[in-house]
Amino acid sequence: MMRTIPHIAFYLALLTAVGTADAASFVKILEIQKVTENVYALVGPKEQRDVGNLANNATFGVVVTNEGVVLMDPGGSWKGAQAIHEAIKSITDKPVKFVVDTGGQDHRWLGNAYWAAQGATIIASEDAVADHKERGSLQLTALKNFLGKQMEGTEPVYADVKFEDGYTFELGGIEFQIKHPGQAHTPGDSFVWVPSKKAVFTGDIVYVERILGVGSQSNAKSWIAAFEAMAALLPEHVVPGHGHATTLEKAKADTYAYLINLREKIAKHIDAGGDMIGSVEIDQSDFSYLDQFESLAKRNAQQVYSEMEWE
Ligand SMILES: [Zn+2]
């Protein structure tokens, strides 16, 4: 086993060398997907955070207006934010004026410091900011393990504009309606509705292509309600928190139906006198096509069990 250590060390060194290349090369970690006129999804990888993806393992949203750019979610680190900026520069030379933090996960706010330095106004729900303050140091510690030196410059910066359950603003004649429907993947999750584009940016309320994660900071029951509030807008374009921009139908299949199944199966399991250990055996096989199903499905079942045990 000792013989493998130099190989691992070499691999890490190689990754670090790649990671320290100029910012332009970071664009490669984000796929630029045109959604509709002047609307883009920057699609990051669906895997874990690492030195290569700079904690941008999520999807970010871009709307270009005559007066500047609105960015949905800042990236997971300073350098992650810089990579997003490089991607935006390949679309437009307009400056980023507003950044919306749609939730409490690292990729929804730990890039804020970079955007604050560019002079952008950062907007988030009060619940999201409370979550940033509560979990920030834990997230930074975890990120240090994933990113090492690539963490450079990453520090907590909180939103300039906070709102309770809704906030509307305009840029270049385009209206942006932010709604915080309640706790979903994290306590402060919001979606951003752009009526003139019939596009919604859902943050972590919607995952497509990969399985969503229910954690101790989540609430599956109100997540379902949050999804319904988003779906009621009948968006033509859904830019999810993870995966490619898609249709409402696909968002329903990969997120909504998954959450409904999870809660229904756990309810039956509890009614039958099942315990937490046994909860991992509930049938989620209809969703085994989702990326990372093997690593997260059972954990999700246990988390929803602990949530429903006292309902
Ligand atoms: Zn996420």
Domain boundaries, the chain: 4-247
- Read off the pLDDT band of 46 (50, 70, 90): confident
Q: What is the pLDDT of residues 123-137, one digit of tens each?
A: 999 999 999 999 999
Task: Give the start-end residues of each E strand in 27-104.
Answer: 31-36, 39-43, 59-65, 68-72, 96-101
> Is the pLDDT at 19 greater than 90, yes or no?
no
Distance 240 CA to ligand 1 centre (A): 9
Q: What is the pLDDT of residues 58-93, one digit of tens each?
A: 999 999 999 999 999 999 999 999 999 999 999 999
> Is the pLDDT at 16 greater than 90, yes or no?
no
- Read off the pLDDT band of 311 (50, 70, 90): confident
Handedness of CA 282, 285, 289, 295 (dihedral sign): positive
Assigned superfamily of 4-247: Ribonuclease Z/Hydroxyacylglutathione hydrolase-like (3.60.15.10)
Give the per-residue pLDDT at 218. Answer: 98
Q: What is the pLDDT of residues 218-259, one digit of tens each?
A: 999 999 999 999 999 999 999 999 999 999 999 999 999 999
Distance 3 CA to ligand 1 centre (A): 37
Distance 42 CA to ligand 1 centre (A): 14
Give the per-residue pLDDT at 3. Answer: 37
170: three-class secondary structure by DSSP: strand
Task: Give the start-end residues of each E strand in 202-256.
Answer: 237-239
Distance 274 CA to ligand 1 centre (A): 30
Distance 1 CA to ligand 1 centre (A): 35
Distance 76 CA to ligand 1 centre (A): 10
Give the per-residue pLDDT at 208. Answer: 98
Residue 225 contacts residue 181 (beta carbons within 8 Å): yes
Distance 105 CA to ligand 1 centre (A): 6
Higher pLDDT, 5 or 210: 210
182: three-class secondary structure by DSSP: coil
Question: Among candidates 284, 276, 282, which has minimal Cα distance to 302?
Answer: 276
